[in-house]
């Protein structure tokens, strides 16, 4: 008997199917999943160090930007038809309904931050590529492993033209909100 082997094929999904799966409660509420380039990916659980740093980031930026930006913590960001990551933190352009009628897109993002420990390599490669491709103007990785802040600016194709690594004694000014400068030690 002659057997024919069929190639294994991935089933990729788009935003519309992804949203229908969510509405149908296909995934348990406790699952930490994201749609990245058509694939449904399970993300690592969030540990106490990660969540504590995220709380600190949220407090610092909410106080500094109360009148000029909306803070968003671990909420969806629609990037084209195939990706809907849930970044740890975003500063968004203010809209009257606080994004209750749609998810923000890259054009709405003033600053996007991922807090990285176990996800560091992924955030420095796949997430960086995704955010650059979609034109997220300023992407930060709070690198808990190396106790530093990686600042990526000027998206160009699949990468960023500018990268800076900052430490506790440094300050950083947001490109999209140039009146906002923070002490890196305030979020490290």
Q: Is the per-residue pLDDT at 109 higher than 60?
A: yes
Q: Identify whether 30 is part of a domain.
A: no
Q: What is the pLDDT of residue 47?
A: 82
Query: Running DSSP on this structure, what letter comes out for residue 32?
Result: -
- For the entire predicted model, the pTM comes to 0.86
Sorting pLDDT into bands at 50, 70 and 90, what band is 118? confident
Sorting pLDDT into bands at 50, 70 and 90, what band is 41? low
Q: Is the per-residue pLDDT at 37 higher than 90?
A: no
What total of structural domains would you count in the chain? 1
Mean pLDDT for 87-103 is: 95
Structural domain for 56, as ranges: 48-186
Are 154 and 162 contacting, i.e. CB atoms less than 8 angstroms apart? yes
Q: Identify whether 73 is part of a domain.
A: yes
pLDDT tens-digit map of 167-178? 999 999 999 999
Dihedral over alpha carbons 32, 156, 182, 97 (to 10 degrees): -60
Q: Identify whether 14 is part of a domain.
A: no
The arrangement of strands across the sheet holding 159-166 comes to: 70-73, 89-92, 109-116, 138-143, 148-156, 159-166
Q: In whole numbers, what is the pLDDT of the chain averaged over residues?
A: 88
Tell me the C-alpha distance between 169 and 184, whole Å: 7
Query: Can you give the CATH number for the domain in which 78 is found?
Result: 3.90.1570.10
Q: Is the per-residue pLDDT at 64 higher than 80?
A: yes
Q: Identify whether 39 is part of a domain.
A: no
Tell me the C-alpha distance between 31 and 46, whole Å: 11
Q: Is the per-residue pLDDT at 5 higher than 70?
A: no
Name the pairing type of β-strands 171-173 and 181-183: antiparallel
Q: What is the pLDDT of residue 42?
A: 77
Q: Identify whether 2 is part of a domain.
A: no
Q: Identify whether 53 is part of a domain.
A: yes
Q: Identify whether 32 is part of a domain.
A: no
Q: What is the pLDDT of residue 69?
A: 95
Q: Is the per-residue pLDDT at 120 higher than 90?
A: yes
Q: Identify whether 4 is part of a domain.
A: no
Minimum mean pLDDT range among 2-11, 51-60, 81-90, 133-142? 2-11
Q: Is the per-residue pLDDT at 59 higher than 90?
A: yes
Tell me the C-alpha distance between 82 and 34, whole Å: 11
Q: What is the pLDDT of residue 114?
A: 96
Tell me the C-alpha distance between 79 and 60, whole Å: 26
């Amino acid at each position: 008997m002659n057997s024919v082997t069929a190639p294994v094929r991935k089933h990729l999904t788009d935003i519309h199917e992804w949203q229908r799966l969510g509405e149908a409660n296909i995934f348990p509420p406790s699952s930490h999943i994201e749609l990245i380039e058509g694939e449904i990916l399970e993300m690592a659980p969030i540990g106490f160090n990660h969540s504590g740093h995220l709380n600190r980031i949220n407090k610092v930026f909410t106080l500094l930007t109360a009148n000029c930006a909306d803070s968003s913590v671990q909420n969806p960001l629609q990037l084209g038809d195939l990706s809907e990551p849930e970044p740890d933190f975003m500063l968004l352009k203010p809209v009257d309904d606080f994004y209750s009628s749609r998810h923000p897109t890259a054009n709405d993002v003033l600053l996007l931050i991922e807090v990285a420990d176990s996800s560091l390599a992924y955030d420095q490669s796949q997430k960086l590529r995704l955010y650059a491709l979609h034109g997220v103007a300023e992407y930060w990785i709070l690198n808990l492993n190396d106790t530093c802040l990686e600042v990526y600016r000027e998206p160009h194709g699949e990468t960023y033209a500018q990268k800076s690594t900052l430490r506790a004694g440094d300050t950083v000014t947001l490109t999209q909100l140039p009146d906002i400068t923070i002490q890196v030690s305030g979020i490290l």
